[in-house]
Structure formats: C-alpha cells, structure tokens
Amino acid sequence: MLKKAEGFDSEKIIVLPPYLVSEMLTHPLIRPLYITDIGYFPHANHHYRERPDGCDSSIVIYCIGGEGWVTIGDIKYSLLEGDLVIIPAKTPHSYGADEVNPWSIFWFHLKGEMMVYYLEELVNDHGPLNLSHGDAEKFINLFHQIYDTLTAKSYSIPHLVHVSQTTAYMLSLLVLIPARKDEERKRRHIENAMQYLVEKLEHTLTLEELAHHARISKQHLNVLFKSATGFAPIDYYHRMKMRRACQLLDLTDLSVKETCHSLGFKDPYYFSRLFKKIIGLSPSAYRSKLKG
C-alpha cells in the first residue's frame, strides 16, 4: 500500500515556525490555546500517518468527503463524511485515507492548557462526532477564517490573538453538539411515548408497557416525563384521559358510565373520583356547568 503524509493536489498547509510559537507562548491571551499546524487535504489518496509515541499536540481531523480511518490507542474508528475526531496529545495513533474512496479532510494541531478541558468535553468512548449540515457549515467557515488569517497575518500578534479566540469559539461550538444530540434523543423518546399514550387513550396502559414501547427503562422514562411535563407518565396519561372525558361529556350524549368505559375504565366510581381529583368537579357537575 502506498503511503504519504502530504503532497495532495490543491492541498493547503501552514506550519508556524518555532520562533513564532515561542512568541505566542509569551502572550497571556494566546498561550492557553493556539494552533501550530493547519491544513486541508482534498481527495488525499494514500494519505497515512503513524505516531507510535503520539504527538506533542492534539490533532483535530474533520472529514468533508470520502472515507478514512483513525486508530487511537487500541481502538480503530471509521471516519465518514461529516465525522470529526480529536486525537489527544501524547496518545499513540495512526490514520489514513480509504484506498477506494479517499477522504478530504480539514485538520489542525492544537496546544495550550485549555486543551485539557476541551478534551474532557469532546473525547469519549462513543467515537467520532458527527456534525449536522449547519454545524459543518459553521466549522468550515471558522476554519477558513483561521487559515486565511494565518496566511496573511501570522506575524501580527493581535491577529494571532484573534486566531486563538476564534479557535476557542470553534471548539465551544463542538462542545454543544453532544448535549444537543442528547436533548434530541430525549425529545424523540418523549414524543414517541406521547403518541403511544394517544393511541392507547381508550384502553388501559401500564408504566412497564409504555417503557417497553419507548425502549427505555421505567426510571429513565419517569425522569424524562417529569422534566418535560411536570408529571409522572401514568399521571399524565390519566390527565389526558380526563381531558378526553371532558370532550365526550361536552360534545356527546354518552352517560358518565359510558364515558368511563369508552376510556378503558372498568369501575365508574374510580373514574368519577379520578375525574374530580384532576378536573375539580364530578363528571355530572362538570356536564351541567354552563360553558362558552
């Protein structure tokens, strides 16, 4: 297999000279987080790197097309379009482009004491971070801002401060992605459970059945429901039933007993007690109350 580190058509690459890195280390606004190397390798056929002892900087690789792979320690990850991976400093690693469909990647090397905290937020056992279209657009725009500034003004300390702060902003956006994805997963669980409650409004349903349908534990479902609605799942289910009971009492000629049975309750007395507890009136009193 052919292997090469660089030398790809239309590639972009900047490696800051040691004297400039030394100068950046003396500046309090740059020292906490700074880029030493940055580049773009399009259609990087035969791209390959192996560092058994790791690198003295952390490496960010974002794949915008094609495929590749990254091995960090003993774990190998596939990297597809939209995937981003961070290799911590001093960690043995290797990476390379797929032989059939070689990747196109943006990459940069980062140093500074702030990287420890970003790594805590961004590096986990779940593998690469997948960026949505919107997140990818922001990342690429910021990358180009950084690259263009380093191309034209790398000798300017004020511009290097701007690069450092832009890099921090870029990483902070990446930190938000896992939390947002977690919120989206929670929302999907709740929406799935809510829809099931609607479908089962005229039947009976247990917490176990609802949790099984949502494919999460009863405890997790309970936490999510209370967070989203303020009520436990079955309590919320009963409130949905009572809201439907109000509609039936207002819009149909069904008796209280018939309304009770139509909503899956077998005991009219239990239904009436529950109705009064939630609505504040007995079913008969509610029906007789003028509305509109």
3-state SS, residue 198: helix
- Residue 31 pLDDT level (bands cut at 50, 70, 90): very high
Q: Does residue 82 come out as left (phi exceeding 0), alpha (psi in the -120 to 50 range) or beta?
A: left
Supply the pLDDT for residue 179.
73
What tokens were used for 223?
Answer: 């936490």
Supply the pLDDT for residue 182.
73
CA distance 274 to 271: 5
Supply the pLDDT for residue 253.
92
pLDDT value at 76 more than 80:
yes
Instruction: Say which CATH topology domain 200-292 has.
Output: Arc Repressor Mutant, subunit A (1.10.10)
Q: Mean per-residue pLDDT for 78-84?
A: 94
Mean pLDDT across the chain: 90
User: 238 Cβ partners below 8 Å, 6+ apart?
Assistant: 274, 278
pLDDT in tens, 162-171: 999 999 999 9
Amino acid at 156: S
Supply the pLDDT for residue 8.
61
pLDDT in tens, 105-146: 999 999 999 998 888 888 776 678 899 899 999 999 999 999
Which pTM was predicted?
0.67
Cβ atoms of 211 and 190 closer than 8 Å: no
Per cent of the chain over pLDDT 90 is: 73
Supply the pLDDT for residue 125.
65
Q: Mean per-residue pLDDT for 234-258?
A: 94
Cα-Cα end-to-end distance for the chain: 79
pLDDT value at 282 more than 90:
yes
User: 109 Cβ partners below 8 Å, 6+ apart?
Assistant: 35, 36, 37, 38, 55, 57, 58, 59, 60
What architecture (CATH level 2) is domain 12-182?
Answer: Sandwich (2.60)
Supply the pLDDT for residue 227.
86
- Residue 29 pLDDT level (bands cut at 50, 70, 90): very high
Indicate the domain borders of the chain.
Answer: 12-182, 200-292
pLDDT value at 39 more than 60:
yes
What does DSSP assign to residue 110? E
DSSP H or E stretch at residue 150: helix 133-153
Q: CB pairs under 8 A, 24+ apart, for 15-19?
A: 16/150, 16/154
pLDDT in tens, 201-239: 999 999 999 999 988 899 989 998 998 889 999 999 999
Per cent of the chain over pLDDT 70 is: 95
Cα atoms found within 13 Å of the Cα of residue 247, Cβ hemisphere only = 8
pLDDT in tens, 175-198: 888 777 777 788 888 888 999 999
pLDDT value at 82 more than 60:
yes
Q: Mean per-residue pLDDT for 251-269?
A: 93
pLDDT value at 21 more than 90:
yes
Of residues 70 and 7, more confidently modeled? 70
- Residue 3 pLDDT level (bands cut at 50, 70, 90): low
Supply the pLDDT for residue 177.
83
Bridge partners (DSSP) listed for residue 69: 78, 96
pLDDT value at 4 more than 60:
no
